[in-house]
Amino acid sequence: MNGEPQMSKFMSLARKFNCFYFNGDLQHCRPFLVCGKQVGVMQARVVEAACRYPDVFHLDSSGMVSLHPSLNSYEERSARMNQVLSQWKEERLFVTLKGWRNECYEVRTGFADPPLLKMDRSAACLFGIRQYGVEINGYTRHPQLGMCLWLQRRALSKPTWPGKWDNMVAGGLSVGHSVLDTALKEAEEEASIPAHLLANLRSAGSVSFYFESERGLFPNTEFVYDLELPADFVPHNSDGEVDIFELVPINQVMERIFTPDYKTTSCPTTLDFLIRHGFINSDNEPRLPELVELLHIPLHYLYSQSSSSSQSPISPQ
């Protein structure tokens, strides 16, 4: 018994994009509830700032923070939240608000539930709001190079992760569009994939992970699609969000994901592809099941508090 077995590069990477799951200071975090259901997690620094607005935020005796129950419509909740966030922005209280997007994010209990309020996208990480996106693994069985992935380098003008390597197509879910519609729209805008090639787009599941940065908390879920492309197709960008695309053989992808040039929060989708297609397997990753579990951490459970909390799944304490 020599303690922890040596950790592989894959496992170390999984701890990096799940850094809040492993190292998060949860004792000092509070569940954030709207309409009696958990929608987020607030770090101590955010709870402290929120307590200055007792007519907007209510800290109850069980340690949960609720949006004040007197705010009883979507419009009212959104307006009051926006007032608070605007003030925090002026006060330069949180670094993430420097990147104010003027683009709102709809806050819901579950992915398929109706929105409870909206807030600027840059503020979602202050409240640990779950975020959903789509990502497309574009791949080619190249006659000389073998299996390859198309990667994009993000434009230097992007507000987040500028200049980093990323999966071929990625985008956040937006209101009024289904998951598949979003994937199709992003594939067209980001990579100019024509409709006849998009007919091969295949849903392949999802990844869930819990990242943290200086900006805040990122409990992210990505709907994952695979798209096999002909060897002679070359994507090109239409919306200015991509610097370049590069066709990268799998063995080089398996090196690039470990470099600081790769967007950390895009690694789960890339790893999921490499596992589903057999490139990462029990021969090169002895702890494969643990790695797979870390690509699908139980966010549904971490966000299961309610004001009248009933039975939840087990936790090993």
Packing angle between helix 9-17 and helix 267-276, nearest 10 degrees? 140
Name the residues that contact its own copies, by CB under 8 A.
1, 5, 20-24, 26, 31, 35-37, 109-113, 132, 178-180, 202-208, 221, 223, 275-278, 281-283, 286-290, 292-305, 311-317
Look up residue 304 and give its two tokens. 């299961």
User: What's the rounded Cα separation, in Å, for the pair 314 and 317?
Assistant: 9
Q: Which is nearer to its own copies, 112 or 195 (CB)?
A: 112
Least Å distance, CB 153 to its own copies, is: 28
Bridge partners (DSSP) of residue 299 are none
Q: Which is nearer to its own copies, 72 or 259 (CB)?
A: 72
State CA 86 to chain mean position distance.
Answer: 24
Least Å distance, CB 47 to its own copies, is: 16
User: What's the rounded Cα separation, in Å, for the pair 90 and 240?
Assistant: 30
Least Å distance, CB 237 to its own copies, is: 25
User: What's the rounded Cα separation, in Å, for the pair 115 and 117?
Assistant: 6
Q: Which is nearer to its own copies, 198 or 299 (CB)?
A: 299
8 Å CB contact between 41 and 29? yes
Q: Which is nearer to its own copies, 105 or 209 (CB)?
A: 209
Least Å distance, CB 85 to its own copies, is: 24
Least Å distance, CB 106 to its own copies, is: 15
Q: Which is nearer to its own copies, 201 or 242 (CB)?
A: 201
Catalogue the long-range contacts made by 72-80 (C-beta closer than 8 Å, 24 or more residues apart): 74/115, 74/116, 74/117, 74/118, 77/34, 77/116, 77/117, 78/104, 78/117, 78/118, 78/119, 80/56
Least Å distance, CB 202 to its own copies, is: 4
Q: Which is nearer to its own copies, 143 or 316 (CB)?
A: 316
Q: Which is nearer to its own copies, 223 or 245 (CB)?
A: 223
Phi, psi of 167 (to 5 degrees): -65, 160
Bridge partners (DSSP) of residue 105 are 119
8 Å CB contact between 183 and 165? no
Least Å distance, CB 88 to its own copies, is: 26
